[in-house]
Amino acid sequence: MAYIREVPLEYDDLPAHLREAVDYWRTLKGKRVGPSWREVDMLQLPYQLLPTTVVVDCVEEMGAPVYRYRYYGSGLRNLHGVELTGKTPMDLPVQSLAERIVSGFESVRSTKAPVFSVYGAEEMDGFGDFLNVVRLPLADHSNEVTKILGIIRYTKNDLGLNEVFKKIQIQEDFG
């Protein structure tokens, strides 16, 4: 049985391009929770990561937090086979991945701090990582997290990742 697991990382354990992105965010942040969305120039991020970058609006709908994609990178769209701009992680085909993503967003929002992680699939033969992610708080005109900048670096190629997602989705569909 395969399932998705998230493991926290330290800044020093991040791949170089992700550290570059975090360093850029830190220069904008200063002593605040995070820079505003208007301050972020996506072209200052490592170009290799732009297709796998997201910007998420943190909103309340009917009294509950909702995380809606303002920007969903084309590489993610191609990988997941779904366009999520204007939608939420719960619209992903792999629900266990969607739940992990929401949990990560909730962590950033509640701690008002960046979250660094590695995601992987726990299978019969052990843990196999497939991506590193940084989630960075953005704060528009307040001390509250209003958006999250998520930057993802895949460690598996598309075909290998599609196989993992397929196994997990079959398990979710057929229990």
pLDDT tens track for 82-115: 899 999 999 988 777 788 899 999 999 999 999 9
Classify strands 53-61 and 115-123 as parallel, antiparallel or unpaired: unpaired
* pLDDT given at position 92: 85
Query: Alpha-carbon torsion 103, 89, 138, 64, what sign?
Result: negative
Decide if 36 contacts 140 (C-beta within 8 A).
yes
Mean pLDDT value of segment 3-11: 73
Contact 149, 44 (CB under 8 A): no
Sign, Cα dihedral of 153, 155, 156, 157? positive
**Distance in angstroms (rounded) separating the CA atoms of residues 30 and 17:** 21
| Average pLDDT over every residue of 148-172 | 62
- What domains appear along the chain, each with residue ranges and CATH number? 3-174 (3.30.450.20)
Q: What percent of the chain has pLDDT over 70?
A: 79
In single-letter form, the type of residue at position 143 comes to N
CA separation, residue 32 to residues 58, 70, 73, 140 (Å): 17, 22, 26, 11
- pLDDT confidence tier of residue 26, bands split at 50, 70 and 90: very high
Residue-level pLDDT at 175: 55
- Predicted confidence at residue 168, as pLDDT, reads 47
Q: Rounded to two decimals, what is the model's pTM? A: 0.84
Distance CA 54, CA 56 (A): 6
* Residue whose C-alpha is closest to residue 13's, from 159, 117, 98: 117
Which residues is 54 bridged to in the sheet? 72, 150
Give the contacts of 109 (CB within 8 A, at least 6 positions apart): 58, 65, 137, 145, 148
Higher per-residue confidence, 67 vs 6: 67
pLDDT classification of 117: cutoffs 50, 70, 90? confident
